[in-house]
Structure 1
Amino acid sequence: MSELIENIEDVLRFPLPVDEEFVIKKHRIEPSGENIGKRICIVTGIHGDELEGQYVCYEIARRIRRDSLSLKGIVDIYPGMNPFGIDSITRGIPAFDLDMNRIFPGNFDGDMNEFTASMIVKELEGADLVIDIHASNIFLTEIPQIRINEKSEKELVPIAKKANMDLIWVHGASTVLESTLAYSLNSRGTNTLVVEMGVGMRITPDYGEQLTDGIISIMSELGIWEGEVPKTKEAIVAYDADGDDVCYLNAPCSGIYMKEKEHGAIVRSGESVGKIIDPLSGDVLADIKAPENGMIFTVREYPVVEEGSLMGRILREKVLNGES
């Protein structure tokens, strides 16, 4: 009978002033008594204010323990790649005013942050799949989606279709930053999916359950899981290389945005999706209307807007009809 081997291990540990330490940890789960198969890495916490992935890390471990005999490979779970950011509820690395996802692949001989980035890449490189889980910021909420650089489309879209997401958004290469973890790993031959879902500083359990079902499905495809696989759905695939599949809602003026539509709402061209109001005068400053038929997949949650602020994104009707 196979039993699980579980270890909490240091990815990185070094001393800091005033008797403190910088520590990044991982939770490794693997079967014992048999040949170890492939390896999947569940990564989150690169941005300290994005917490949706925390629940996924917990739920993956819980489900594996519930059916331990089904695990046939290695699952590495990394809940806190930016531990100081999580502790201080900040997006970037506190004190440095630095976005951690803009310094990869790092530099082994660089400063503390560059060294950390290089060690993370070294740790993850060579895995059969890395899933990098993000949330939106505190201003916007996103339906569960995977974003892919068009350079990696051929390799990643077939995998992403097994992830139980609502949307796969393929971006043009010019819009993808080369200093992200996903770009660094994909360029080194380590397949990496970037998940965006939910909203900053919150956890949406339904989204976490949805993604966990998808991860189990992918593990089954990779031969890492031989147990029951949840029923999953195939995502809509949209392309943004020419901006043809997605249209954006930007605020025409400053004020308080009152949304009228939620995620997944189907809207018609000219239909109202929200209003910008002036609480001082009591006036409606702008009636925000859908520019085209489609589905809303990004919704502004933080109501204060300035001219140009993003209020939402709409997936055009042709994409919903499979005409992209």
Structure 2
Amino acid sequence: MIQTVATAPLPAAENYIVKKQRLQPETLSGTEKRISVVTGIHGDELEGQYVCYEIQRRIKEHPELLTGIVDIYPALNPLGIDSIIRGIPHFDLDMNRIFPGNSEGSMAEYIASEIIDDVKGSDLCIDIHASNIFLREIPQVRINELCADTLVPFAKRLNVDYIWVHGAATVLEATFAHSLNTIGTPVLVVEMGVGMRLTKDYCNELVDGIFVEMKDLGIWQGDVIEPKKAIVSTDGEVHYLNAEYAGVFVPTVEHWTSVKKGDKIGEIINPLEGVIKEEIFSDCDGILFTLREYPIVSEGSLLGRILERNGAAS
């Protein structure tokens, strides 16, 4: 059933409305587990839209196998989704910087507060993000090290390639995930793909993992895959590649490939002068898990991230 999570008035007799789809067995005992799948916080991140569709499609094929509650929130920022704008249009505001919100605050703060109230208490929440238009990411879960003991076991079952445990100082307290994790609702933040696009293979892999989590929680009784074994790392094992010159970045390797120290990753070229301004090389042995997608770069632009192989643990 489709339910309204939050609504607030907008100019021109319109409303800001956040909706969810709730899937549940016909008869409830009151002890069912609940999983929430959340996406669309940023309007230019569309990978989660297909995930929301595919979860429902699979459940609707075999509703008799559903033994718990699945809440699907496709668009926490519906105005951003409609206009393909990362933040909330006309407010110049990143929605993922206003949680947990305030029921007595501005419209955006009120909406954020209502969302938190609705999602809290879930046995697990999956917060799906894509990258921006500039970078392509392999499917990964990013975790605050303060929550690692609770979240890493869940993340290992999600069928992603990589689990990146961040230092606490790198996690913003005003995010959706941090706000819920601090009150005891476990949230896994997924990053994958590229902004404004759908990467169907990545989406299907994540859906497979979500069904594994549902099976573990007792929400789904159907067959599920054996999830892939993810690489788990910390901040100290990740190397950043940044541009020293402005120009056009042309990669010379494929995304999500193994590289060795000294391997060439790409070139920054100058179309006007017809010269190579910079060659980019790996400074370690590892795996290239982030790669520049949008070719125009400025000095300091992020070109890629390499997970140092020797430091990675599974």
Q: Tell me which interval the TM-score lies in, with the shorter structure as reference length.
A: over 0.9
Matches within 5 A, 1:196-207: 196-207=191-202
1:141 corresponds to: 136
Q: Distance in 2 between matches of 1:18 and 1:98?
A: 20
Q: Distance in 1 between matches of 2:27 and 2:260?
A: 58
Alpha-carbon distance, 1:187 to partner: 0.2
User: In the alignment, is the contact (CA less than 8 A) between 1:300 and 1:311 conserved in 2?
Assistant: yes
Q: Distance in 2 between matches of 1:16 and 1:149?
A: 35
User: In the alignment, is the contact (CA less than 8 A) between 1:92 and 1:99 conserved in 2?
Assistant: yes
2:14 corresponds to: 20
User: In the alignment, is the contact (CA less than 8 A) between 1:237 and 1:319 conserved in 2?
Assistant: no
User: In the alignment, is the contact (CA less than 8 A) between 1:236 and 1:319 conserved in 2?
Assistant: no
User: In the alignment, is the contact (CA less than 8 A) between 1:164 and 1:235 conserved in 2?
Assistant: yes
2:281 corresponds to: 289
1:4 corresponds to: none
Any idea what SS the aligned residue of 2:154 has? helix
Q: Distance in 2 between matches of 1:135 and 1:81?
A: 14
Any idea what SS the aligned residue of 2:55 has? helix
User: In the alignment, is the contact (CA less than 8 A) between 1:164 and 1:213 conserved in 2?
Assistant: yes
Q: Distance in 2 between matches of 1:256 and 1:34?
A: 57
- Is 1:213–2:208 an aligned residue pair? yes
Q: Which runs of 5+ in 2 are unaligned?
A: none
Q: Distance in 2 between matches of 1:264 and 1:88?
A: 31
Which of 220, 224, 243 pairs up with 2:219?
224
User: In the alignment, is the contact (CA less than 8 A) between 2:8 and 2:107 conserved in 1?
Assistant: no
TM-score under structure 1 normalisation?
0.95
Q: Distance in 2 between matches of 1:61 and 1:133?
A: 16
- Is 1:121–2:116 an aligned residue pair? yes
2:88 corresponds to: 93
1:3 corresponds to: none
User: In the alignment, is the contact (CA less than 8 A) between 1:45 and 1:81 conserved in 2?
Assistant: yes
Q: Distance in 1 between matches of 2:244 and 2:11?
A: 48
Q: Distance in 1 between matches of 2:180 and 2:37?
A: 14
1:279 corresponds to: 271
Q: Distance in 1 between matches of 2:28 and 2:297?
A: 57
Write the deviation string for residues 251-301 of structure 1: whole angstroms up to 9, x where unpaired.
011111001122211111111110000000110111100111110000000
Matches within 5 A, 1:69-84: 69-84=64-79
Which of 12, 30, 51 pairs up with 2:24?
30
User: In the alignment, is the contact (CA less than 8 A) between 1:167 and 1:237 conserved in 2?
Assistant: yes
Which of 137, 155, 158 pairs up with 1:160?
155
Alpha-carbon distance, 1:28 to partner: 0.4
Q: Distance in 1 between matches of 2:94 and 2:222?
A: 39
Any idea what SS the aligned residue of 2:206 has? helix
Q: Distance in 2 between matches of 1:190 and 1:260?
A: 43
Alpha-carbon distance, 1:14 to partner: 3.0
Q: Which runs of 5+ in 1 are unaligned?
A: 1-6
